[in-house]
């Protein structure tokens, strides 16, 4: 009889615990973790926290394979780069395979092999526009398909014009961080619709023209973005374009705008 009593109490306690935890889950389902737990319990796990879902966006096939490693991690895409450009520039330094002489460039005192430009960017597989835009910071704001970094329209804490003379033929330089582009990277894109790279908010950026019309888009927002098809997708999606406005009467800045999505760290 005593034993049975104990058993009853045990089961009552167990039932109470189950009831309480179910109640807890039901009452706090607006928190991400708990809704994940509820999904697992009711069998509707959407895969947010485990395994890979879907395929890489077709645009990622254009990223240089030697310099980047791109893969899915759950619902995120991870873009790892060694930070090196896959094309010629004076900034490789004499003796390197991709070094070329550029006598007109007012060189900064650094060369690519002296910097570790390794970086990782993790973005949602399906990035979304944010309700408010976010200004860009110093340092990398994106990763180009060449493997090197994309910077904004500032140099140090000043305007780009102070450093313009140090930019190589493809709008890149070192000064003083890793090799990076400020301008239309003519090594692979000049007045065309080619893919330039991906920005920290997960949206791709293309050349000055758009594949959807074959010419300069006329419906761009303040950041040079719009929603249309591209050469990489038949479904219209948000993407940016290089600003088709001359800076200092001779340059096209890659991205002078604000992020229209939510920026992620590049480090
Ligand atoms: Zn710079
Ligand atoms: Zn477009």
Domain-by-domain residue ranges, the chain?
2-42, 58-252
Amino acid 31: pLDDT: 44
Ligand nearest to the CA of 253: 1
Could you tell me the distance, in angstroms and rounded to a whole number, from the CA of residue 225 to the centre of ligand 2? Answer: 7
| 229 to 10, 54, 232: CA distances (angstroms) | 62, 20, 8
Amino acid 38: pLDDT: 41
Using CA atoms, how far apart are residues 265 and 85, in angstroms rounded to an integer?
20
Could you tell me the distance, in angstroms and rounded to a whole number, from the CA of residue 158 to the centre of ligand 2? Answer: 30
Local confidence pLDDT in tens for the 267 residues of the chain: 444 444 444 444 444 444 444 434 333 444 444 444 444 444 334 434 444 568 999 999 999 999 999 999 999 999 999 999 999 999 999 999 999 999 999 998 899 999 999 999 999 999 999 999 999 999 999 999 999 999 999 998 788 998 899 999 999 999 878 999 999 999 999 999 999 999 999 999 999 999 999 999 999 999 999 999 999 999 999 999 999 999 999 999 999 999 999 999 999
Could you tell me the distance, in angstroms and rounded to a whole number, from the CA of residue 39 to the centre of ligand 1? Answer: 47
How is residue 114 written in tokens?
Answer: 């002296």
Amino acid 175: pLDDT: 80
- Residues 6+ away with beta carbon under 8 Å from 87: 98, 146, 170, 187, 188
Using CA atoms, how far apart are residues 194 and 236, in angstroms rounded to an integer?
17
Residue pLDDT, tens place only, 227-249: 999 999 999 999 999 999 999 99
Q: Could you tell me which residues are beta bridge partners of residue 240?
A: 205, 225
Chain-centre distance for alpha carbon 75:
14
Residue pLDDT, tens place only, 88-101: 999 999 999 999 99
Could you tell me the distance, in angstroms and rounded to a whole number, from the CA of residue 54 to the centre of ligand 1? Answer: 36
User: By the 8 A CB rule, do 86 and 66 touch?
Assistant: yes
Using CA atoms, how far apart are residues 139 and 114, in angstroms rounded to an integer?
17
Amino acid 39: pLDDT: 41
Q: Could you tell me which residues are beta bridge partners of residue 124?
A: 76
User: By the 8 A CB rule, do 172 and 89 touch?
Assistant: yes
Using CA atoms, how far apart are residues 30 and 150, in angstroms rounded to an integer?
37
Whole-model pTM above 0.75? yes
Using CA atoms, how far apart are residues 81 and 63, in angstroms rounded to an integer?
10
Amino acid 23: pLDDT: 38
Amino acid 171: pLDDT: 97
Amino acid 186: pLDDT: 98
Q: CB-side exposure of 13: number of CA atoms within 13 Å?
A: 6
Ligand nearest to the CA of 208: 2
How is residue 60 written in tokens?
Answer: 């990622």
Ligand nearest to the CA of 178: 1
Amino acid 96: pLDDT: 97
Amino acid 173: pLDDT: 97
Could you tell me the distance, in angstroms and rounded to a whole number, from the CA of residue 204 to the centre of ligand 2? Answer: 10
Amino acid 52: pLDDT: 55
Ligand nearest to the CA of 165: 1
Amino acid 156: pLDDT: 81
């Amino acid at each position: 009889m005593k034993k049975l009593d104990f058993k009853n109490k045990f089961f009552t306690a167990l039932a109470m615990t189950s009831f309480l935890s179910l109640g807890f889950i039901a009452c706090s389902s607006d928190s991400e973790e708990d809704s994940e737990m509820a999904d697992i319990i009711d069998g509707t796990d959407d895969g947010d926290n485990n395994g890979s879902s879907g395929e890489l966006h077709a645009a990622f096939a254009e990223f240089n394979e030697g310099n980047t490693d791109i893969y899915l991690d759950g619902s995120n895409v991870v873009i790892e780069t060694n930070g090196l450009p896959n094309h010629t520039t004076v900034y490789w330094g004499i003796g390197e395979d991709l070094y070329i002489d550029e006598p007109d460039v007012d060189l900064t005192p650094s060369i690519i092999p002296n910097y570790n430009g390794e970086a990782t960017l993790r973005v949602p597989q399906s990035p979304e526009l944010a309700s408010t835009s976010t200004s860009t910071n110093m340092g990398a704001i994106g990763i180009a398909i060449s493997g090197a970094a994309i910077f904004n329209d500032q140099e140090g804490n000043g305007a780009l014009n102070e450093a313009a003379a140090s930019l190589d033929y493809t709008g890149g330089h070192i000064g003083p961080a890793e090799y990076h582009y400020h301008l239309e990277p003519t090594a692979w894109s000049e007045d065309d619709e080619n893919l330039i790279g991906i920005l920290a908010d997960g949206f791709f950026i293309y050349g000055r023209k758009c594949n959807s019309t074959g010419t300069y888009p006329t419906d761009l927002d303040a950041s040079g973005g719009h929603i249309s098809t591209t050469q990489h997708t038949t479904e219209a999606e948000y993407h940016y374009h290089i600003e088709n406005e001359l800076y200092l009467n001779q340059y096209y800045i890659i991205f002078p705008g604000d992020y229209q999505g939510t920026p992620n760290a590049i480090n």
